[in-house]
């Protein structure tokens, strides 16, 4: 039994709803789809993404401006210049924005510009960062560490909750295993388990899980089928030219088609993929243990 006083599901089967805006909320009937590039590269890039995806429709945009790269010589993100680009597309397209914070010093400025702060896989157990995010005043998207157990993941969420922020969405993004044919191994068992043992919304990132664009659509469908409350998917106007994670970037056309193909899967499990941005909120079916 995981000793997570705040994150654990209680006998009353409560489902926490995390609101990004009045219209966009995780944990309802609606499967929320976040799309956008791995990294913000230019205003032109983000405008193309926002224009195409707002019509898809997806409900929120992603784009990293502080990038946790394996090599210190790789592109590290546009920083505050990138935040200014996110702010512009946010107001122009009226779409909420999710972006990553890597350090405590970035929290204030990022929280002032966007709607949800992402904690990347590599920072899932950065406990000082998690504690500080308890006071961020914005919802947190907490990604599972690449070698974190389910218990460690839930306890990381517990850090944020216990420091004052109730708005945490969990994100399964694949874990390391012996086989690197896929970048990681998408642990859908964890999604079903987290839906049962916590009351927090759980979303899936199939992009970082498989690392290859041709494998993303089937994994996105599987994620919706097993009860995910949302998806976060990387896409780019010119996928091959992405400065980071090019191999897993979908084209904008593929992203629109993917959203469409998820509708019957969502319907089969009592969920809904929005036909329009900002539809009314309905509660989700409960996925708890019998």
Residue 284 DSSP symbol: P
What does 19 bind: Mn ion, ligand PEP, none (CB cut-off 5 to 8 Å by kind)? none
Is 245 among the residues that bind Mn ion (CB under 5 A)? Answer: yes
- Of the listed pieces 32-40, 78-86, 144-152, 253-261, which binds Mn ion according to CB under 5 A? 32-40
How many residues bind ligand PEP (CB under 6 A)? The answer is 10
183 touches ligand PEP by CB under 6 A: no
Binding of residue 120 to ligand PEP (CB under 6 A): yes
Candidates 105-113, 118-126, 132-140, 194-202; binding stretch for ligand PEP (CB under 6 A): 118-126
Determine the residue with CB nearest Mn ion: 38
97 lies in the site for Mn ion, by CB under 5 A: no
Q: Which stretch binds ligand PEP (CB under 6 A): 49-57, 119-127, 160-168, 186-194?
A: 119-127
208 near ligand PEP, judged by CB under 6 A: yes
Contact letters for ligand PEP, residues 214-253 (x by CB under 6 A): ----------------------------------------
Q: How far apart are CA 249 and CA 38, in angstroms?
A: 8
Please report whether residue 64 would count as binding ligand PEP according to CB under 6 A: yes
* Position among 31, 38, 215, 226 found at the interface with ligand PEP (CB under 6 A): 38
Contact residues for ligand PEP (CB under 6 A)?
38, 64, 68, 120-122, 143, 173, 205, 208
Contact residues for Mn ion (CB under 5 A)?
38, 245
């Amino acid at each position: 039994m995981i000793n997570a006083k705040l994150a654990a599901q209680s006998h009353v089967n409560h489902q926490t709803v995390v609101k990004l805006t009045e219209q966009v909320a995780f944990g309802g009937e609606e499967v929320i789809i976040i799309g956008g590039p791995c990294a913000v590269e230019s205003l032109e890039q983000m405008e193309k993404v926002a224009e195409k995806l707002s019509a898809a429709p997806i409900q929120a945009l992603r784009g990293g401006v502080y990038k946790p790269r394996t090599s210190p010589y790789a592109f590290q993100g546009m920083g505050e210049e990138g935040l200014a680009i996110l702010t512009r597309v946010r107001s122009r397209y009226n779409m909420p924005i999710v972006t990553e914070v890597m350090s405590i010093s970035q929290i204030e400025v990022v929280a002032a510009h966007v709607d949800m702060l992402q904690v990347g896989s590599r920072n899932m157990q950065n406990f000082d960062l998690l504690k500080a995010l308890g006071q961020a005043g914005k919802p947190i998207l907490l990604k599972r560490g690449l070698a974190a157990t389910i218990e460690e993941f839930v306890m990381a969420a517990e850090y944020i909750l216990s420091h004052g922020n109730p708005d945490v969405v969990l994100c399964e993004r694949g874990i390391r295993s012996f086989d690197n044919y896929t970048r990681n191994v998408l642990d859908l068992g964890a999604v079903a388990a987290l839906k049962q043992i916590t009351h927090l919304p759980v979303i899936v990132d199939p992009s970082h899980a498989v690392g290859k664009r041709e494998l993303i659509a089937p994994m996105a469908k599987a994620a919706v089928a097993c009860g995910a409350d949302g998806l976060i998917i990387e896409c780019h106007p010119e996928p091959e030219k992405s400065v980071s994670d090019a191999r897993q970037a979908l084209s904008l056309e593929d992203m629109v088609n993917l959203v469409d193909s998820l509708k019957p899967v969502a319907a089969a499990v009592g969920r809904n993929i929005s036909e329009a941005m900002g539809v009314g909120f309905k509660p989700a079916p409960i996925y708890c243990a019998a």
